[in-house]
Chains A and B, each alone.
Chain A
Amino acid sequence: ETGVTQTPRHLVMGMTNKKSLKCEQHLGHNAMYWYKQSAKKPLELMFVYNFKEQTENNSVPSRFSPECPNSSHLFLHLHTLQPEDSALYLCASSQDSGDEQFFGPGTRLTVL
């Protein structure tokens, strides 16, 4: 599959569960991003990885833990989430020196 893919597309979890979101890009990009999209709020940048190194952590609570094992894969590990964490989580990638970010389809997360 081409472009940016995310799995799962939908996830329902309890507050005590541990789950992981996966993002994969097939574009040869070196920068990858996690965004949170809630209703009636701007897209919020959570984390940025550039050449596998985390370069931005936008004051995200520690219950969200990112992992970037290589430039093509990005994970978001979830632990002890709150109902207000329910949102669409979008992954994106870009060239290290480029501008356009390509988004994945997102994971719709519901925390019960």
Chain B
Amino acid sequence: GENVEQHPSTLSVQEGDSAVIKCTYSDSASNYFPWYKQELGKRPQLIIDIRSNVGEKKDQRIAVTLNKTAKHFSLHITETQPEDSAVYFCAASMTGGYNKLIFGAGTRLAVHP
């Protein structure tokens, strides 16, 4: 079955810096890669996702890149702000009918003013 590894487990940056979180997956059949943000005491929320037919996707300060050959994908946050502080989870799945997401262990991002 699918296995997703996520690094680093914690990340501390200064406000305005960039942050990068990396994930690798094992199942080459996976075709959908979402990123969720979970603020303290709140539910996970989707912030961006990418499908296997796309190499990069951007939404304002957030971007995701996918390397299918190497089976890894990354989240890039530019111009970080204190409100970006949260736990970020990557996931991988093979869609169709329903979505069996396998999550990474999460990265706790702290953005210091």
Shortest C-beta distance, A30 to chain B (Å), equals 8
Q: List, in ascending order, chain B residues with CB within 8 A of A97's CB.
A: 96-97
**CB <8 Å contact, A48 and B100:** yes
Shortest C-beta distance, B6 to chain A (Å), equals 8
**CB <8 Å contact, A42 and B105:** yes
Residue B88, interface by CB 8 Å: no
Residue B28, interface by CB 8 Å: no
Query: A42-B104, A56-B100 are contacts. A100–B44 as well, Cβ < 8 Å?
Result: no
Shortest C-beta distance, B110 to chain A (Å), equals 16
Grouping DSSP codes into helix (H, G, I), strand (E, B) and loop, the B interface class, with mixed when no group exceeds half, is: strand
Chain A, residue nearest B31 (CB): A99
**CB <8 Å contact, B34 and A31:** no
Total A residues in contact with B, Cβ cutoff 8 Å: 24
**CB <8 Å contact, A101 and B43:** no
**CB <8 Å contact, A99 and B32:** yes
Residue A112, interface by CB 8 Å: no
Residue A82, interface by CB 8 Å: no
Q: List, in ascending order, chain A residues with CB within 8 A of B96's CB.
A: 97
**CB <8 Å contact, B95 and A99:** yes
Q: List, in ascending order, chain A residues with CB within 8 A of B62's CB.
A: none
Q: Which of A82-111 contact B (CB under 8 A)?
A: 90, 94, 96-101, 103-106
Chain A, residue nearest B6 (CB): A42
Q: Residues of A at under 8 Å CB distance from B?
A: 4, 31, 40-45, 48, 50, 55-56, 90, 94, 96-101, 103-106
Q: List 26 A-B contacts (CB under 8 A).
A: A4-B43, A31-B97, A31-B98, A31-B99, A42-B4, A42-B89, A42-B106, A43-B91, A43-B101, A45-B102, A48-B98, A55-B97, A56-B100, A94-B98, A96-B97, A96-B98, A97-B96, A97-B97, A99-B32, A99-B49, A99-B95, A100-B34, A100-B46, A100-B49, A101-B99, A103-B44
